Amino acid sequence: MKIFLNKPLPDVGMELLKAAGLELLLPEEEIVSRAAWIAYCQQADVVVGIGAKGFDAAFFGQCPNVKAIALFSVGYDQVDIFAATQRKIPVSNTPDVLSRATSDVAFLLMQSVSRLAAFNFERVKSGNWLQQFQPTLHLGQELYGKTLGIFGMGRIGFEMARKCKAAFDMKVIYHNRNRRPDMEAGLNAVYVTFDELLAQSDVLSLHANYTAASKDLFDAAAFRKMKANAILVNTARGGFVREQDLYEALSSRRIWGAGLDVSDPEPMSSDNQLLSLPNVCVLPHIGSATVEARNGMARLVAENVIAYVKGARMPTLVNMEVYE
């Protein structure tokens, strides 16, 4: 079988694939156009998606030979799962191995925004360090005993909640498609409605899987329901947040601050209005950007591909329905 990777995996993954004797297709060009990507995929039995988007119904129509997809990500919104399942194409992702790293970034963003760290760092770089002490200028807020709201209590959301409870003794509330009693016990977490999550959270951290139905869920109407001191943290997907509404909520002090590791679109334009605000910290989608997490992801991708080639079920299969 031919395996197409639009980019090389970290070494641990490439070595596993090569040791399995698989025929690997890699593009010669560093930046692959959509047309070239389709052309490569048309030659492949299995496609490894590394930052690749557009596994939609049109893709499956253009690439009828593709039999499986292995994603180098925990999110799988870049794949039309319904279309893949209809064609009995298994799709795998890379859960668990990046949960701690991504929650670390959410935790980092929360603290950076709460203490205006990015803004104050820019002050130092620009020589705008105040010559005289001003007791009421550029003040942050403390997090001790505050309420953390988790939108999407999965593995990453749980890790974020665990950190916040241990470090700041934060009260944990969460909203999820279903209650998670298994996660409530260790955190003393309370399940709430979406509106209650908005109204009660001092920090609201997004960790849910993204779907088209979730687009712009956090808009002006949602921000009007949040506390004036609230901090929004998003390490999930940029599509959850209507950025113009977020800008207006922040610039008018309707909410206190925002920390974003994702945007819509990506990359974020350098003239995006959010970047002009002192109460915003933006990172370039680095949630899984550690050696340990990326190696773990590469290993999982390789294990999924090898399992499929051997006729076994992919270990981290997304669409179990392909076997029904």
Residue 96 confidence (pLDDT): 96
- Per-residue pLDDT for 324 more than 90? no
Please state, in angstroms and as integers, the Cα–Cα distance from residue 123 to each residue in 116, 128, 216, 260, following that order. 11, 5, 32, 20
Q: Over range 170-197, report the average pLDDT.
A: 96
Q: Mean pLDDT over all residues of the chain?
A: 96
Which has the closest alpha carbon to 220: 202, 242, 238? 242
How far is C-alpha 28 from the chain's CA centre?
29
Q: Over range 305-324, report the average pLDDT.
A: 96
Tens-digit pLDDT profile for residues 78-109 = 999 999 999 999 999 999 999 999 999 999 99
Tens-digit pLDDT profile for residues 26-45 = 998 888 999 999 999 999 99
Residue 107 confidence (pLDDT): 98
Edge-first strand order for the sheet with 46-49 is 23-25, 2-5, 46-49, 68-71, 91-92
**pTM of the predicted structure, to 2 decimals:** 0.95
CA 256/CA 253 separation, integer angstroms: 6
CA 90/CA 316 separation, integer angstroms: 10
* CATH for the 2-97+291-323 domain, from 3.40.47.10, 3.40.50.720, 3.40.50.1860, 3.40.50.300: 3.40.50.720
Task: Kindly state the percentage of the chain with pLDDT values over 70.
Answer: 100
CB atoms near residue 211 (< 10 Å): 11
At residue 132 the predicted structure's pLDDT band, cuts being 50, 70 and 90, is confident
Residue 187 confidence (pLDDT): 95
Residue 263 confidence (pLDDT): 98
* CATH for the 99-282 domain, from 3.50.50.60, 3.40.50.720, 2.40.170.20, 1.10.3720.10: 3.40.50.720
Tens-digit pLDDT profile for residues 44-59 = 999 999 998 899 999 9
Residue 31 confidence (pLDDT): 87
- Per-residue pLDDT for 314 more than 90? yes
Residue 53 confidence (pLDDT): 87
Amino acid at 160: M
At residue 73 the predicted structure's pLDDT band, cuts being 50, 70 and 90, is very high
Annotated catalytic residues are: 237, 266, 285
Tens-digit pLDDT profile for residues 184-202 = 988 999 999 999 999 999 9
- Which tokens hold the place of 252? 């008018």
CA 263/CA 240 separation, integer angstroms: 9
Tens-digit pLDDT profile for residues 217-251 = 999 999 999 999 999 999 999 999 999 999 999 99
At residue 133 the predicted structure's pLDDT band, cuts being 50, 70 and 90, is confident
What are the residue boundaries of the structural domains of the chain, listed by start? 2-97+291-323, 99-282
CA 53/CA 237 separation, integer angstroms: 13
- Per-residue pLDDT for 179 more than 90? yes
- Per-residue pLDDT for 294 more than 90? yes
CA 177/CA 72 separation, integer angstroms: 25
- Per-residue pLDDT for 323 more than 90? no
Provide the 3-class DSSP secondary structure of residue 58. Answer: helix
With residue 19 as reference, give the H or E element that holds it: helix 11-19
